[in-house]
Every structure is written in C-alpha cells, then in structure tokens.
Amino acid sequence: MTVSSPASGEEVPGAVASRLTGRAVTGVRPLSGALAEAVLDDGRTVVVKRAEDPEAARAEAAGLRWLAEAGAPPVPCLHGREGAWLVLDRVTEGRPGRETALRFGRELAGLHAAGAPAFGAPPPGGPVEAFIGLAPMRNVTGDDWPVWYAEHRVLPYLRRAVDAGTLDAGEADVVERVCARLPDLAGPAEPPARLHGDLWNGNVLWGADGRVRVIDPAAHGGHRETDLAMLALFGCPLLDAVLEGYQETAPLAEGWRARVGVHQLFPLLVHAVLFGRGYAGQALAAARSALSL
C-alpha cells in the first residue's frame, strides 16, 4: 500500500506506523536517526524507517515485494510505504546455527532461480534510478552479463572514484582491464537471477524462529554469484554451511571460487565512492586477483 506524504512535513514515526498498519500506536522507541520501533495496540512491534529519498523507499519497497514473491528466504512483512517512510515487521533475532545456515543457502538458491526478465531489470514497480545503500544504482537492462556488469555496475563507480581522487588513472586502468576481459573471466553464461543485490552480513538477520530473513535489498536481475560474493566480502556466520545448502540445491559452475573477486569489484567500488581510499585498495586487490585467472 502506498499513501501520499502529508504536505506538512512534520511527520513522526508513530503517526506513520498507525496509518500504514491501521492500528493505534502505544509507544515509540527511536533506534537511530532513520529508524524507530513502534508498539501497536495489539502488542506487535514494527520498525519505521525513513529513507534518504522517496525514490529509495520506493525501490526498497518494490524489492521487498519482489523477493517475497519468490517465497524464500523470507523478508519482513512490509505494511506499506508513505513517501520516504517504510513500515515493516520487526524481526526477533536469535543465534546463527548450522541448520539455519543450510536452510538459508537452499532458500537463497530458490530466490535466484525465481529469475528476472534481464540483467539489471528492476523489481516490478521499482525505479530505474535506484540505490545500493546510500549510493545511486541505475537499473538499465542488458542480455549479456559481462557487458552489462562492466557498463552498468563496475565502470560508473570507477569513474566516480577517479573523479573524487580516490583512485588515480593508473589504478583505474587495472579495473578497466578486468572489464575488457570479463567475457573470458565470467565463466559459463547463466540466465538472470533474482538478486537481493546488497547481501552483506548486516542485511542478514538470524531469526529466533530458526530462519534467516533478509532486509534492505537493492534488488535487480543479475548473476547469482554476485550475491554469494557479497556474503563473503564482509563475513557471514557459518558461510561454509550456507554455501553447502546452496550447492545442494543449485550447484555453482566450475571455477566459481576463483571468480569471487570479479563479483566483489562492484560492491567494493561502491564502498570506495562512499567511504574512501581503504576500499579502493581492496577493489584494486580484487581486480589484480581477477587478472591473474
């Protein structure tokens, strides 16, 4: 459900939660500048989130619905969007466990198998001008993954990093050489997968009910190895078990481990643009590793 934002601009999380859930709010607890918890009169707790931009909220809402259509892994129930506001069920978190990790891997394989119309395809109702975290991300479609990945994922962020002085021209050349060789580095051709798109550990919630839920998607059609490479990038509990469950359901093409750096180039360059030189060094290391294949 989408409701127009009030013109006053004086909204508070409790009022938004009440309108989008249809329940009275008995209490609100701020979590950060952008997040709050609201307790409803039926005892449930929801999370009220304010995005940086209404289009970011629209992209996230569309992504959550698209992931939910696949059936698993589950996402928090989205009660609705109102301008830049989103209201979702709160996830009660538990501890990572091996069986939960195996199930998450199997469910992630199922999500990817649900597919997408093309590489770069946005979720239905989602904007072309979307976001990954706080960075803009254009969902322009293509049929050839190596060409699409270079043109619409790697090179736009490389240019931004160079323009900001985070990478110099010689360093950029290393990444450009990877892009030129992508048709040989990408492995066997695969159909577009339905990606979460920003699947780092902070967006993976280990529920108290023994299931993983994923949040904050940058959903689009892409290569399934990209989600898995993102899981590995910043560390994920029991990643070996997650991969075991995934491989049981949808075995990855031979050589996938050697291609992890290729798929990590995109998120590393995004982080270089957002957070600076430290991530630029990691992106260069990933590029040099790819060139050694």
DSSP 7: T
- Asked whether the beta carbons of 250 and 235 are under 8 A apart, the reply is no
Side-chain-side CA neighbours of residue 149 (13 Å): 28
DSSP 76: P
Which residues of the chain form beta strands (DSSP E)? Answer: 2-3, 25-30, 35-40, 45-50, 78-82, 85-89, 129-132, 135-138, 193-195, 204-206, 212-214, 220-222
How far apart CA 23 and CA 17 sit, in angstroms, is 8
How far apart CA 103 and CA 180 sit, in angstroms, is 37
How far apart CA 16 and CA 49 sit, in angstroms, is 10
Six token digits for residue 33: 């500048």
How far apart CA 110 and CA 128 sit, in angstroms, is 25
- Count of CB atoms situated within 10 Å of the CB of 123: 26
Catalytic residue among 42, 53, 198, 227: 198
Q: Which residues pair with 221 in a beta bridge?
A: 194
The distance in angstroms from the start CA to the end CA of the chain is 48
> Among this protein's residues, is 198 annotated catalytic?
yes
Report the catalytic residues: 198
